[in-house]
Amino acid sequence: MTTNSRPLRVGVVGLGWAGQQHMEAYDALEDVELVAIAGMEDGPRAELAEKFGVPHAYSDWKDLVAAGGLDAVSVAVPTFLHAPITIGALEAGLHVLCEKPIARTAEEAEGMVAAARSAGRVLEIAFNHRRRGDVEALKAAIDEGTIGRPYHARATWLRRSGIPALGSWFTNREMAGGGPLIDLGVHVLDYALHLFGEPRVLAVSAVTHSELGPRGLGGAVSDKQQVGSAYEVEDLASVLLRLEGGGSLVLETSWAAFRSSGDEFGITLYGTDGGADLRVVDYAPVGELTLFTGQAETETDIRVEADPGRGHAAVIDTFVEHVADESSWSTHDGSLALGRARIIDACYESAAAGAEVRLDHDLHITDGEGSR
């Protein structure tokens, strides 16, 4: 992709796993130049600059933006930094690809979307799980009518002992916005609604539990990203979502719970003419995907062999394509991710109130993040 007959010039803010996924993907693309990175850790910053041949490496993201010469930037930092960095980059005229969740709250997300619209620039959020090969294969089967009209699903991401780091920003409510519901659950919510065909969520009824984390269980204390926080968020959440058209979705996510070992996510879908089940254990490149069709003696279980998919690489390919198509910029403004944030906010509100919360829908949502 070129801009004014030159390569697209990009930067990445954040040196952790997610940031490195963005660096790898940009580095693999022709006509894209990774020219700047930013992050506070001196050692990793120098190592990554050398690995990718990055000419400009900054400790402060503001210096990266102020230096100029960029067309786009990826934001892959702790959640409480998403809004200020994204808005700063958009106001500087850059297109932005931000890691999930879009922000700690819908209010912050609204500011990011407003900044994208004001600047006339692309804002997308890295919902990479919908770009897994097994999820894409399931979406294709649904779109082909294999299971009829989906009307109910149970979507999960469950860990036995997977609190990211006790005492880190992840377990600080002000910095993270919440626990596994906003961290893992936003991925689950995204791929579930994507598979359903993006119905409106009319109401949510949620419960959250914080039983293990406050006792120092379910995760290790790590020097990485320590802020000395007490455990202030949930370690398990369960939500019933009522969907437009009569559909329903149960979402369950945990960082820590007494269950089978490992890390498992997936979805079970019930449709009018069949069903489907996708299970992914311990981040397997391809999960077990089964379709259920037929009745009585004609019952058929179909095991679907899917490709691994390209995850972040596919997300970044699409982001670059959208940046290249100036006529489509206004349709990729982060509004889909804002819609996800409003649902997550409603879930936390419901859990706190012990009652169902209905959502209003005064926002125009576009399926800009990762759609093809």
Q: What is the pLDDT of residue 225?
A: 74
Q: What is the pLDDT of residue 362?
A: 54
Determine how β-strand 274-281 pairs with β-strand 263-271. antiparallel
Q: Identify the weakest region by mean pLDDT among 13-22, 113-122, 215-224, 348-357.
A: 215-224
The first and second tokens of residue 142, run together, are 């649904």
Residue 23 pLDDT exceeds 70: yes
Residue 342 pLDDT exceeds 70: yes
- Note whether 177 and 103 are within 8 A (CB): yes
In whole angstroms, give the CA distance from residue 33 to residue 8: 6
Backbone dihedral angles phi then psi of residue 273, each to the nearest 5 degrees:
-125, 10
Q: Which amino acid is at 181?
A: L
Q: What is the pLDDT of residue 363?
A: 44
Q: What is the pLDDT of residue 367?
A: 46
pLDDT band at residue 372 under the 50/70/90 scheme? very low
339: nearest Cα among 314, 368, 312: 368
Q: Is the peptide bond before 101 cis (omega within 30 degrees of 0)?
A: yes
pLDDT band at residue 222 under the 50/70/90 scheme? confident
The first and second tokens of residue 245, run together, are 């058209």
Q: What is the pLDDT of residue 296?
A: 73
- Note whether 196 and 247 are within 8 A (CB): yes
What residue has token string 């912050």?
Answer: 108
- Note whether 180 and 237 are within 8 A (CB): yes
Mean pLDDT for the chain overall? 94
Residue 198 pLDDT exceeds 80: yes
* This prediction's pTM: 0.94
pLDDT tens column, 116-132? 999 999 999 999 999 99
The mean per-residue pLDDT over the stretch 91-119 comes to 98
Which has the higher per-residue pLDDT, 214 or 360? 214
pLDDT tens column, 29-55? 999 999 999 999 999 999 999 999 999
Residue 284 pLDDT exceeds 50: yes
The mean per-residue pLDDT over the stretch 234-262 comes to 97
Q: What is the CA radius of gyration of the chain?
A: 20
HEC string of the chain?
CEECCEEEEEEEECCCHHHHHHHHHHHCCCCEEEEEEECCCHHHHHHHHHHHCCCEEECCHHHHHHCCCCCEEEECCCHHHHHHHHHHHHHCCCEEEEECCCCCCHHHHHHHHHHHHHHCCCEEEECCHHHEHHHHHHHHHHHCCCCCCEEEEEEEEEECECEEEECEHHHCHHHHCCCHHHHCHHHHHHHHHHHHCCCCEEEEEEEEECCCHHHCCCEEECCCCECCCCCCCCCEEEEEEEECCCCEEEEEEECECCCCCCEEEEEEEEECCEEEEEEEECCCCCCEEEEEECCHHHCEEEEECCCCECHHHHHHHHHHHHHHCHHHHHHCECHHHHHHHHHHHHHHHHHHHCCCEECCCCCCCCCCCCCC
Q: What is the CATH number of domain 2-127?
A: 3.40.50.720
Q: What is the pLDDT of residue 350?
A: 98
In whole angstroms, give the CA distance from residue 188 to residue 328: 27
The first and second tokens of residue 196, run together, are 């359903």
- Note whether 86 and 308 are within 8 A (CB): no
| Ranges of CATH 3.40.50.720 domains, the chain | 2-127
Q: What is the pLDDT of residue 272?
A: 97
- Note whether 151 and 248 are within 8 A (CB): yes
pLDDT tens column, 165-188? 999 999 999 999 999 999 999 999
Residue 256 pLDDT exceeds 80: yes
The mean per-residue pLDDT over the stretch 11-29 comes to 97
In whole angstroms, give the CA distance from residue 292 to residue 267: 14
- CATH class in words for 133-308: alpha beta
The first and second tokens of residue 189, run together, are 């919510």
Residue 4 pLDDT exceeds 60: no
Determine how β-strand 6-13 pairs with β-strand 32-38. parallel
Q: Which residues contact 58 (CB under 8 A, 6 or more apart)?
A: 36, 37, 38, 64, 67
pLDDT tens column, 304-331? 999 999 999 999 999 999 999 999 999 9
In whole angstroms, give the CA distance from residue 92 to residue 50: 27
Counting residues of the chain whose pLDDT is more than 90, the rounded percentage is 90
The mean per-residue pLDDT over the stretch 129-143 comes to 97
pLDDT band at residue 71 under the 50/70/90 scheme? very high
| Ranges of CATH 3.30.360.10 domains, the chain | 133-308
In whole angstroms, give the CA distance from residue 311 to residue 219: 26
The first and second tokens of residue 278, run together, are 């996708």
